[in-house]
Amino acid sequence: MSAHTISVPTGALALACEAWAALDGPAAALHHLSVAGRGDLPSVFPVTDLAAASVGVAGLAVAEFIAQVASDGPAVQVDRRLASFWFGMSLRPQGWSLPPVWDAVAGDYRAADGWVRLHTNAPHHRDAALAVLGVEADREVVARAVAGWNADALEAAVVERGGCAASMRGVADWNAHPQGLAVQAEPLVHWSIGNPVAKPDWRIDPARPLRGVRVLDLTRILAGPTATRFLAGFGADVLRIDPPGWDEPVTVPEVVLGKRCARLDLRVASDLLVFEGLLRQADVLVHGLRPGALERLGLGEQRRRELNPGLVDVSLTAYGWSGPWQGRRGFDSLVQMSTGIAETGMRLSGQDLPVPLPVQAIDHATGYLMAAAAVRGLVRRVAIGAGCTARLSLARTAHWLVSAERGPVEPLAPEQQDDWNDALEPTSWGSARRVRAPLKVQGAVMHWDWPALALGSAQARW
């Protein structure tokens, strides 16, 4: 090899380079990142490379935070096999089981001119879809009703009714769609830097770097909770807030690891006052409510910045921050249908029905990017005292994946008990084990101070 030959990163490292640049990270830090392990999740897209890259850049951000008090950033290593498992489920219940992932009506249906997916896990979303179709909650009856609709028309009608649906589009169709064009024009991470304020007096412990950092978690399934779970893994004090009565039976045991979970009704003045008090004292706010939801509660961006000028404010939306669908409800599985992922999987695998990714990879990848953005924001707080705003979207992450090159695929070795932590986790639902952490940051062991505990099990206070 010539002395002048430059090694060009490929696979997970190439994706990590793209993400780190979008996170405005210093290019030199990439030399600290390595990828271990072998194997790939089965997909026509490089899903395991996506997993390793997104977990890896979150680790790089933690290493950079540690470097504020160290002579050099620590080494970061991500295990691609373990990262693949974490992109599915990390929890392994012992003697109990989680409920089904999907509502009985949720899923893909053949319409008159293609395919459409109904997302009905939330009761009000199911009610909206059934009201449009004019049928009861019976899958066969729903299928017959959907068959009489054009896919785009049904999608539009369900969304107009307040539900969640997506017709299946090809990549080229999506790229030519007004919303696809808008998403392609957006950065992977939108950044906005606030005015300088007093620098924090954090004492950064390289062994537990985020200890003492207060993270207010106002997120739901699944990207946002993934982000805050990561932050808790390095010591952050994460307080999740949910409204009374809200639950996510399948995902909560998976994503509340390391967090305290409280309830507040932000439509009630007294609870809103409590939340504002929490926000004043927070270092990071992570939220994933639809655009406009916090504004309607009197907690728009200007108000949040008034309450906490140094806040690191990280948020996501489903379909992007511009374009005609910028306020549309959405979930990972719907975004896969809209952006061409499910159609490409169907076509390249020779199937006659939509073929999604093997895991909710868009959610998870966006979550780790959000975590990385939060920590990069903390680095800025230490360096210049300014707060910042970072905004991401599932659709833009999907575009990142669709644009990535896929190399040779090697099947993952089957999971074994050696892949689990030795200690049992005493969750609110029963004992469980966790897959070992997929990330190693030299000198800072990723672990969680709290087991997964039920929503509403803690008080709304720091």
The 10s digit of each residue's pLDDT in 77-100 is 999 999 999 999 999 999 999 999
The whole-angstrom separation of Cα 322 and Cα 326 is 5
- The C-alpha angle with vertex 132 and arms to 131 and 137, in degrees rounded to 5, equals 50
* 284-287 sheet: strands from edge to edge: 190-196, 386-393, 312-317, 284-287, 214-218, 237-242, 259-263
Is 110 inside any structural domain? yes
Is 440 inside any structural domain? no
pTM of the model: 0.96
Helix spans in 242-284 (H) = 252-255, 269-281
Can you read off the two tokens belonging to residue 82? 């373990």
Look at the alpha carbons of 234, 315, 246, 88 in this order and tell me if their dihedral is positive or negative. negative
> What are the pLDDT digits (tens) for 166-193?
999 999 999 999 999 999 999 999 999 9
**CATH code of the domain in which 275 resides:** 3.40.50.10540
Domain count, the chain: 1
Q: Which of 153, 165, 155 is nearest to 120 (CA)?
A: 165
Domain with 134, as residue range(s), is 99-420+454-462
Q: Which of 180, 165, 158 is nearest to 116 (CA)?
A: 165
- Residue-wise pLDDT tens for the chain (462 aa)? 444 444 567 899 999 999 999 999 999 999 999 999 999 999 999 999 999 999 999 999 999 999 988 777 899 999 999 999 999 999 999 999 999 989 999 999 999 999 999 999 989 999 999 999 999 999 999 999 999 999 999 999 999 999 999 999 999 999 999 999 999 999 999 999 999 899 998 999 999 999 999 999 999 889 999 999 999 999 999 999 999 999 988 899 999 999 999 999 999 999 999 999 999 999 999 999 877 889 999 999 999 999 999 999 999 999 999 999 998 989 999 999 999 999 999 999 999 999 999 999 999 999 999 999 999 999 999 999 999 999 999 999 999 999 999 888 899 999 999 999 999 999 999 999 999 999 999 999 999 999 999 999 999 999
The whole-angstrom separation of Cα 76 and Cα 441 is 5
Is 2 inside any structural domain? no
For the chain, give the mean pLDDT.
Answer: 95
Is 85 inside any structural domain? no
Is 45 inside any structural domain? no
Is 7 inside any structural domain? no
438 Cβ contact list (under 8 Å, min separation 6)? 51, 55, 78, 79, 82, 83, 85, 86
Is 145 inside any structural domain? yes
Q: Can you give the pLDDT at residue 7?
A: 56
Q: Which residues of 174-205 are buried (b: 16+ CB within 10 A; e: fewer)?
A: bbebebbebbeebebbbbeebeeeeeeebebe
Between helix 394-402 and helix 361-384 the angle, nearest 10°, is 110
Is 48 inside any structural domain? no
Can you read off the two tokens belonging to residue 96? 């109990």
